[in-house]
């Protein structure tokens, strides 16, 4: 029976769109702990999961919720949690565990102002570097973002597909405005949604080694309960999944956890380009700020200023090469963000001094307006 929202045009919050995207992607387990401005994701899934046989559990805290998601995922079910900054900090230990044990799952962070409990009801983009480096130790990270309800729906599906493809936690960074903005969304028939499911072993249980990586960089983890017995640990392990102290084994594992993302960066990274062909000024923006930037680009063009927009919908891995490719032909970059320059750092590193990078930062809890970006561009011109 088709889902009751399939094919319908709805007015939905970004948070609801995230929950709907998760369901369309095949997510059937959610564990979480409520926190503004992410709570509607949990609320909506608690309401909707019973209709599709999904399981919802409110855990004792964010750490427990992340643990429950990892455990659920190991049985083969697609699992997700959602939180905001303070909860994202708590989840980092287990996000690192999922990265090390290569357990696919999706972690949504609807960002609010920080540090600590910060500004619960106000937007920010202050967690973008925490997404990259919040869990200790070297490992590749995939972090997506979105700027509208429709894009949140699509990016949530993509997050699951990337998690299942690369066997890792995938992060989805929203913010209070995207999460709480109600706008039109078209929900497709679930049968038309591209869904990727993790591979299962092709060898019998007695020949199975969980971390052998038959195709090079990505392991094939058998769903728990299917007769394949193996060990899961946060310690450095070898192909068997048991801890090792062998230097070669340690080294190859740590390198592989980064290399599996580096090697596939072109398949993962996605950018939206607006009026960049003849641009003198490139605005680099993401998430809610990209909406303001689009309007600012139109206003720049009306005033005869050749501005263009490079919008990142994948924040990690960072599109270093794509940013550098623009650096030779433009006069300057402008990076507006709701933090004190976290991704501007990455733009600066990517540009390698080939062009000046101007920052536009706002951390008072209000969004960056199109006018502020327009003014920043004019100042540069």
Nearest to another protein of 6, 196 (CB atom): 6
Distance of closest approach, residue 9 Cβ to another protein, in angstroms = 7
372 near another protein, judged by CB under 8 A = no
Q: What share of the chain is helix, strand, coil (3-state, %, to 5)?
A: 40, 20, 40
The token pair that represents 248 in the structure block: 């070669």
From the list 48-56, 164-172, 188-196, 364-372, the region that binds another protein by CB under 8 A is: 364-372
362 near another protein, judged by CB under 8 A: no
DSSP state of 237: B
Cβ proximity to another protein, 9 vs 231, nearer residue: 9
Give the residue, chosen from 291, 306, 358, 362, that forms a contact with another protein under the rule CB under 8 A: 291
Q: Closest distance between another protein and the C-beta of residue 342, in Å?
A: 22
Q: Does residue 370 bind another protein (CB under 8 A)?
A: yes
- Binding range to another protein, per CB under 8 A, among 20-28, 70-78, 87-95, 366-374: 366-374
Local structure of residue 205 (DSSP, 8 states):
G
Count the neighbouring beta carbons within 10 Å of the beta carbon of residue 227.
11
- Collapsing DSSP to helix, strand or coil, 169 comes out as strand
Q: Which stretch binds another protein (CB under 8 A): 132-140, 155-163, 214-222, 368-376?
A: 368-376
Interface positions, 107-146, toward another protein (CB under 8 A): 120-121
Torsion angle of C-alpha atoms 262, 268, 273, 279, degrees rounded to 10: 0
| Binding piece for another protein, criterion CB under 8 A, among 132-140, 324-332, 355-363, 365-373 | 365-373
Q: What is the total count of residues that contact another protein (CB under 8 A)?
A: 20
CA dist 62 to 75, 91, 176, 249, 276, Å? 21, 6, 19, 32, 42
Taking the least distance from each CB to another protein, the nearer of 175 and 346 is 175
Q: Using the rule CB under 8 A, which residue among 240, 244, 295, 329 binds another protein?
A: 295
* Residue number with CB closer to another protein (351 or 374): 374
Report the residue number, 36 or 244, with the smaller CB distance to another protein.
36
**Is residue 294 a contact residue for another protein (CB under 8 A)?**
yes
d(CA 378, CA 338): 20
For another protein, the closer CB: 5 or 160: 5
According to the binding rule CB under 8 A, does residue 367 interact with another protein?
yes
* Rg of the chain over all Cα atoms, to the nearest angstrom: 21
Counting contacts by CB under 8 A, is residue 47 touching another protein?
no
Do strands 307-312 and 271-274 pair parallel, antiparallel, or not at all (unpaired)?
antiparallel
Beta-carbon contacts of 162 under 8 Å, excluding residues fewer than 6 positions away, are 142, 144, 170, 268
- Name the minimum Å distance from CB 224 to another protein: 41
Which residue in the set 181, 238, 313, 342 belongs to the binding site for another protein (CB under 8 A)? 181
Which of 36, 250, 252, 258 is in the footprint of another protein by CB under 8 A?
36
Interface with another protein includes 180 (CB under 8 A)?
A: yes
Interaction between residue 43 and another protein (CB under 8 A): no
Cα separation, 233 vs 97, in Å, equals: 8
**Residues within window 195-254 making contact with another protein, judged by CB under 8 A:** none
**CA distances in angstroms from 336 to 50, 124, 146, 184, 370, listed in the order given:** 41, 12, 16, 26, 10
Q: What is the C-alpha separation between 303 and 99, in angstroms, rounded?
A: 48
We find the least distance from the C-beta atom of residue 182 to another protein, in angstroms, to be 4
Query: Which position among 41, 82, 142, 177 is part of the footprint of another protein (CB under 8 A)?
Result: 177
Other Cβ atoms less than 10 A from the Cβ of 189: the count is 13
- How does strand 9-13 pair with strand 27-32? unpaired
H helical segments located in the chain: 14-25, 39-52, 62-74, 85-101, 128-133, 149-166, 176-180, 247-262, 265-268, 288-302, 320-327, 342-351, 370-380
Give the separation between CA 343 and CA 111, rounded to whole angstroms: 15
Site residues, another protein (CB under 8 A) = 9-11, 36, 120-121, 177, 180-184, 291-292, 294-295, 367, 369-371
């Amino acid at each position: 029976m088709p889902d009751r929202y399939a094919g319908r045009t709805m007015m939905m919050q970004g948070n609801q769109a995230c929950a709907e995207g998760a369901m369309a992607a095949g997510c059937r387990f959610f564990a979480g702990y409520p926190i503004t401005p992410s709570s509607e994701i949990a609320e909506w899934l608690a309401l909707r999961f019973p209709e599709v046989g999904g399981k919802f559990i409110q855990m004792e805290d964010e750490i427990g919720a992340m643990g429950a998601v990892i455990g659920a995922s190991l049985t083969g079910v697609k699992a997700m949690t959602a939180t905001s900054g303070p909860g994202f900090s708590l989840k980092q230990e287990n996000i690192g565990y999922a990265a090390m044990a290569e357990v696919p799952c999706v972690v949504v962070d609807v960002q609010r102002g920080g540090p600590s409990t910060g500004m619960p009801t106000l937007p920010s983009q202050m967690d973008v570097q925490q997404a990259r480096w919040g869990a200790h130790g070297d490992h590749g990270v995939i972090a997506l973002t979105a700027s509208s309800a429709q894009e949140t729906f699509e990016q949530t599906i993509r997050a699951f597909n990337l998690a299942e493809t690369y066997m890792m936690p995938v992060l989805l960074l929203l913010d209070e405005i995207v999460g709480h903005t109600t706008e039109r969304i078209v929900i497709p028939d679930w049968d038309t949604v591209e869904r990727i499911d993790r591979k299962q072993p092709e060898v019998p249980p007695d020949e199975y080694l969980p971390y052998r990586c038959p195709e090079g960089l990505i392991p094939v983890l058998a769903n728990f309960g299917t007769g394949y017995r193996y060990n899961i640990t946060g310690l450095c392990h070898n192909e068997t999944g048991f801890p090792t102290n062998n230097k070669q084994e340690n080294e190859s594992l740590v390198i592989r956890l980064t290399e599996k993302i580096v090697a596939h960066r072109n398949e993962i990274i996605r950018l939206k380009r607006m009026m960049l062909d003849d641009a003198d000024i490139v605005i680099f923006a993401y998430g809610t700020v990209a909406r303001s930037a689009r309007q600012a680009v139109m206003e720049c063009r009306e005033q005869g200023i050749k501005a263009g927009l490079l919008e990142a919908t994948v924040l990690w891995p960072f599109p270093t090469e794509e940013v550098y490719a623009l650096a030779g032909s433009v006069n300057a970059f402008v990076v507006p963000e709701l933090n004190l320059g976290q991704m501007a750092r990455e733009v600066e590193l990517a540009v390698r001094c080939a062009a000046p990078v101007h920052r536009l930062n706002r951390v008072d809890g209000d969004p960056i307006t199109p006018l502020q970006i327009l003014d920043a561009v004019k100042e540069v011109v």
